[in-house]
Amino acid sequence: MKKIFLITILLFAISFIAISQGNYQYFPSAGFKVKCGCKLAVNSVFTQVAKSQGINDIIGAYICAENENDPSTGVIVNINICDASKSFQAINSTYHDYFIKKSLEKYASILSQTGISYEYISFMGTTALEYNFDQNGVPTKAILFFKNQKSYMLQLATRNGLTTKFNALKTSFELL
């Protein structure tokens, strides 16, 4: 009887973990929800470094690691959101699309100068930059886009199944 109880508890715990991995994580203050295999936490290191470089418009910076003790299956997720409303307010609303286009072109130029390949794609009804690079020897994919006067950057690094895992992160990302 004790064995059946322990097996039942174990199965319940395993199913709870499996179900929770498929659930959305909500970040109302940053205005998004997303599914990923690890629990996102505030990335205070990124925020501190950005602020030391004069970047004070960060709405949210989040990071998590999955299987962090196994380099072959480990996954690192970063999501950064910045408030670009001051830039948008500084220009006539008829130039907002032009501002986004030029901002993406400037970012693409920086990527190109550092040898990082990129492509323009359509994401969430807007033009975005998707790019690949190695981060400390780990293959990484990222996307940068503007929506609702904010810039969003989603990034995933892993040595195993990069495209599949990144696409799952990207397609689960939703604005609130």
Q: Summarize pLDDT for 118-175 with one digit per residue, the tens.
A: 999 999 999 999 999 999 899 999 999 999 989 999 999 999 999 999 999 999 999 9
Give pLDDT, residue 2.
40
Backbone phi and psi for residue 152, each to the nearest 5 degrees, phi listed first: -125, 135
Given this structure, which CATH class describes domain 24-175?
mainly beta
Q: What are the C-alpha distances in Å from 142 to residues 91, 158, 172?
A: 28, 12, 14
The 8-class DSSP code of residue 79 comes to E
Q: How far, in Å, CA of 165 to CA of 158, rounded? A: 8
Please state the domain extents for the chain: 24-175
What number of other Cβ atoms are within 10 A of residue 141's Cβ?
A: 20
Angle value at C-alpha 79, between 75 and 81, nearest 5 degrees: 175
pTM above 0.85, yes or no: no
Q: What is the mean pLDDT of residues 103-110?
A: 94
